Amino acid sequence: MTVRVRFAPSPTGMFHVGGARSALQNWIYAKQQGGVFVLRIEDTDAARNKPEWTEGILSALDWIGISRGSYEGPYFQSANAGEHRAAAARLYDSGRAYYCDCTREDVQARTGSQYQGYDGYHRDRGLGPGPGHALRFRTPDEGTTVVVDLIRGEPTFENKLIEDFVIARGDGSPVFLLANVVDDMTMGITHVIRAEEHLPNTPKQQLLWEALGVKPPIWAHVPVVVNEKRQKLSKRRDKVALEAYRDEGYLAGAMRNYLMLLGWAPSGDREIVPWSVIEDEFRLDEVNLSSAFFDEKKLRAFNGEYIRALPVAEFIDACQPWLTGTGTIAPPPWQSEEFDADAFAAVAPLAQTRIAVLSEIVPNVDFLFLASPLIDEAAWTKTMKDGSAELLDDAVAAFEALESWDAESLKSTLEAVGAERGLKLGKTQAPVRVAVTGRTVGLPLFESLEVLGRERTLTRMRAARLRLV
């Protein structure tokens, strides 16, 4: 038997990080088993679907390493509507489903409770199809439904506790439960790997598989992804869009590595590992049962490690979208003609050790490419205190006298200026840094001044001095 897994997102919004994890888990499992990864776009929610969301899914999968052409599909659920309706008809004709025209209010009136499930009122009343008549599956009265799950063992559900659920609406359109089952049957899906939030629907889907005369797939329900409050990640509350992390400057390798650790870990006391190790070691039966905490701080630290591991040339290339404002990246504060590739290359190794996401490259190097620095007014107020004007005067004079404009000479010169005032280097260089870069933190100061050059450095220091008059 050829293993066939599927990833079936809906094109109704940005690509969720939890969905990205599921895609990767399916992808790796299929690869390990010599199987097939199928992409199915569940696009039957016409009111919310947009073509750009579909393209966003394909683009996001490309980014995390599931490239177009390497999987089967994409298929679109809407193209299978005829099969969905045919399956509903077969279930009705075989007596496994029946029509019902009860409203929610009808059920509440009969049961006396708004929390009571459907009471089976129309099971044997012989109601036929018609406008407003929903089709309900006839759940067995006795016995149990056993779900074979590679992660959770064999969860068992008593059939008598499963209500006769709707499989087609009053207008004849199949609901998600039935459409999902029919699509999986049509595509020959053998393993369904998805989040545990779908587990309550699984016995219903398994009953549908069996009623349609097809052996159910093997299930694997991975732990749900939660935030720091242990709440399920929500688009309305949490930062969950994979595209947002991509556009902020997270590396695909770091994101892949981190997502695979949500509920699983490689052997040994390690977390940051080559992708080849994850592909080799990942096992569904080793996935934890408890919820997986999506820790953005930890992801950020991961990304910083991946950035620092890049060869400098690759780091320079990776920064280009933020330096040039290409694609969806916001344009930098400088004009294209102001950008100096050689100057950036000179400071790139310094910046590489200090940023955790690629978008942070812009505030770290903008002072190199602007006619004057962008002054952080809070930093100015905090730093430019009594004595700063005179210190800048002395520093300008000392820098003007330098024969060699290099980081070591600049450092020793400013140390001497501070020593005459009884100041340590940290206190001495703070006004100079703000004058030249506009900020109190950034790249190593003296290496930055060396790249910026004598003329531009002195011009900025003099301008800061005039502002202090």
Q: List phi, psi (to 5°) of 193.
A: -110, 115
Strand partners, 168: 135, 174
Query: What does the chain come to in residues?
Result: 469
At 210 the three-state DSSP class reads helix
Q: Is 235 a catalytic residue?
A: yes
Nearest residue to 101 (alpha-carbon basis) of 138, 131, 65, 58? 131
Integer Cα distance of 151 and 285 in angstroms = 5
| Residues in CB range of 44: below 8 A, 6 or more apart | 77, 78, 81, 176, 179
**Cα separation, 464 vs 373, whole angstroms:** 10
Question: Nearest Cα to 81, choosing from 192, 7, 209, 172?
Answer: 172
- In Å, what is the CA distance from 304 to each residue of 21, 256, 300, 309? 20, 14, 6, 9
Helix, strand, coil distribution of the chain in percent, nearest 5: 50, 10, 40
Distance between CA atoms of residues 219 and 152, nearest Å: 9
The CB density around residue 59, as the number of other CB atoms within 10 Å, is: 15
Strands 134-137 and 166-168: antiparallel
Amino acid at 294: F
Cβ atoms of 170 and 135 within 8 Å: the answer is: no
Q: Which residue has the tokens 């309706």?
A: 85
Q: Could you tell me which of 215, 443, 229 has the C-alpha nearest to residue 350?
A: 443
The rounded Cα 372 to chain-centroid distance in angstroms is 37
Identify the active-site residue in 50, 160, 232, 235: 235
Edge-to-edge strands, sheet with 218-222: 72-76, 36-41, 4-7, 191-195, 218-222
Q: DSSP state, 276?
A: H
With b meaning 16 or more CB within 10 Å and e meaning fewer, what string describes 289-316? Answer: eebbbbeeeebbbbbbebbeebeeeebb
Token code pair at residue 438: 């506009």
Per-residue DSSP letters for 163-200? Answer: ---EEE-TTSPBPHHHHHHHHHHHTT--EEEEEGGGGG
Catalytic residues: 235
